[in-house]
Structure 1
Amino acid sequence: MQFQCSVLLPFTKQRLNKVSDGEQPSTGAWVVEPKVDGLALTLRYEGGRLVCAATRGDGSEGEDVTYNARNLTGIPQVLPEVHGDTNLHASVVEVRGEVYMTLLDFQELNAIKVKTGEKPFANPRNAAAGSIRILKNRDAVDRRLSFMAYAIVSAVDTVATGV
């Protein structure tokens, strides 16, 4: 993606001023990553199979949403082999990512809510967060949530370590 200089230069100057304490910062490369505004979700795989999906919950104990997470786009039930390597299938693997709703799906969901006399969601993030926790699985599936993984936090070999 290319940015217009008129947008990028003020942004760059503002960010550099925040980290430079008034001194002239050195120039360098930028790393830009997409931001997906959703709900944090941790997936736990044992022996290559999804066994648990949990939100952050109250910060000390996550909320188990495995039942609904099994139907989200982007969450495999079984981890694929990577170039014939089955090591992940003999491990405990934790994957972190975001549950989100696309803007188009959000707009369609809100149109339905308005048509049926319900209060629309304020934003896609709130819609995703509420939808993953719905107790009726069919309703959660109808909301077309997606998942984007951004980190593999652990991959522990259960055979070698006994963990």
Structure 2
Amino acid sequence: MLLTYKVEIKPTEKQAWQIDCHIGGSRWAYNLFLGINRQRYECGYHYMGAYEFSKWFNHEYLESNPDDRWIKDLYAKSVKQAFIDADSAMKRFFKKQSGFPNWRSFKRGQGSYYFVKNSKTQIIACQRHRIKLPKLGWVRLKEFGYIPTDSEHFVIKQGRINSKLVGIT
């Protein structure tokens, strides 16, 4: 059974800057996916799904656009999840379940930093007052003891950071 906990964090200034960089990178990747697929859709080419787009992005786009290689400094799963989120929004558009996806804007505060447990051996450590996030290290929690850390069956599998809120599953 999956449970979700929403917790507020207290990052240091450096961690807050890193979180903003990751959220900005995810926003940029989401908008790039929408822009490229919109051009392809209007020109009559086939639609590129998230995984196909990710391969194209890593092997062709970044080699021809070296100014965008800064994205490689960010957490790779967060960028890939931005492609997946944009792909699901586009698929809802094609099924006529919603309109064309909106661009993610800095002004509207859209965007998140996604993290995931990669394998059985890698864990996302959590203590009573802090959590260890990929690329950020230990980040303090505002509410002590809210996340059950004493249970042997409790494992953090994934989460999203929206500004200063963490959603953990």
* TM-score of the superposed pair, with normalisation by structure 1: 0.28
More helix per residue: 2
Larger gyration radius, structure 1 or structure 2: 1
- Larger relative contact order (CA 8 Å, sep ≥ 6): 2
With the length of structure 2 as denominator, give the TM-score of the two structures. 0.27
| More strand per residue | 1
